[in-house]
Structures are given as structure tokens and as C-alpha cells.
Amino acid sequence: MLTEKTLEKIQQIQKNYHSKKSAVMGALMAVQRDSGNNLTREDMEAVAEILEVNPVEVQAVAGFYTMYNWKKPVGRHHIEICWNLSCSLMGAEHLISHMEKKLGITLGETTADGMFTLSTAECLGSCGTAPMMQVGDDYYENLTVEKVDKILADLRASS
């Protein structure tokens, strides 16, 4: 069941488009953000009903883009570290190993407390500030082990 706040966000998103169908991606992201970082099948059905779109089409969108989390739930902070060319050349794999040790998980896993999920991402369009990662809506760039430790500590403290 979507909250009033989420429904208002979806109404706002719809205003940006000529057709309701065009608002599917934004609506799904609004629901995901308001639902603890994950989407359920019921969420997708609700979006389909609101936007008058076939539920299969909404599920197809959610299934195509990796930014929607419904096949496998993620933690409160979804860390997506870029491991494409520029970031790899600048040490992404070292940072991945460091975070795996620090968090006690391997890629694709979520910490036991549900706080962090560690994933890789393909190029996030910030090659000039490699290595970098995305956590939610935020980019963290020019990463070092020390920066990563501070980011993880700050995220933990903010939760």
C-alpha cells in the first residue's frame, strides 16, 4: 500500500510528461525510495494501476534496469561501486576487497543487520573522478581506503 506522500510524488512526476506511461520509471523510483530501498510486486501493481499501464509492462521496466531492487532485496544503504575501465585502473578492485573485509560480506550480499548491500556497477559516467561509487542518490568520488572508511562510518551513524 503506497503512502499519501508517495502518491503525491507520483502525481508530481506525472506532470512532467504528456502520457502517464512515461512516468513509470520515476514512479517506480519514488516508490522504491519511500519503501526502504526495495520494490515489491504489489508496489509495481500499484504503480501500474495509478498510471493505467499494464502491470507486465511495469514489471518489464523494473526488470530491465538494475537500479530497481525487487528481485533480491537490498539493505538500507546500497553501495554500488563502479568497476568499469577507469575505476578499475584507479583501484576499484582494491576498494572492493577492502569493503568486503570491512563489512564482512562479499559482492552481492547484505550485512546481517540489513545496513549495507555491496554491489558493482558499470560506468556511472564519472570516469574523471575514478574510482567512485554510488550510494542511493549520492556519488562518492576520488575514493581512497580512508575515504571509504569515513563514508561507511558516516552512513552507519546516519541510520
Chain positions contacting ligand FES, by CB under 6 A: 82, 84-87, 123-127, 130, 132
CB of 123 to ligand FES, least distance (A): 3
Which residues, 6+ apart, have CB-to-CB distance to 92 below 8 Å? 81, 82, 83, 130, 131
Give the strand order in the sheet containing 77-82.
116-121, 77-82, 133-135, 138-140
What cell numbers appear for 52 in the block?
Answer: 493505467
d(CA 21, CA 66): 20
What cell numbers appear for 139 in the block?
Answer: 556519488
Which residues, 6+ apart, have CB-to-CB distance to 65 below 8 Å? 25
> By the 8 A CB rule, do 87 and 132 touch?
yes
Q: Which is nearer to ligand FES, 44 or 143 (CB)?
A: 143
CB of 51 to ligand FES, least distance (A): 32
CB of 32 to ligand FES, least distance (A): 22
Q: Which is nearer to ligand FES, 22 or 120 (CB)?
A: 120
Q: Which is nearer to ligand FES, 63 or 125 (CB)?
A: 125
Q: Which is nearer to ligand FES, 7 or 123 (CB)?
A: 123
Q: Which is nearer to ligand FES, 20 or 147 (CB)?
A: 147
CB of 113 to ligand FES, least distance (A): 28
CB of 127 to ligand FES, least distance (A): 3
> By the 8 A CB rule, do 97 and 136 touch?
no
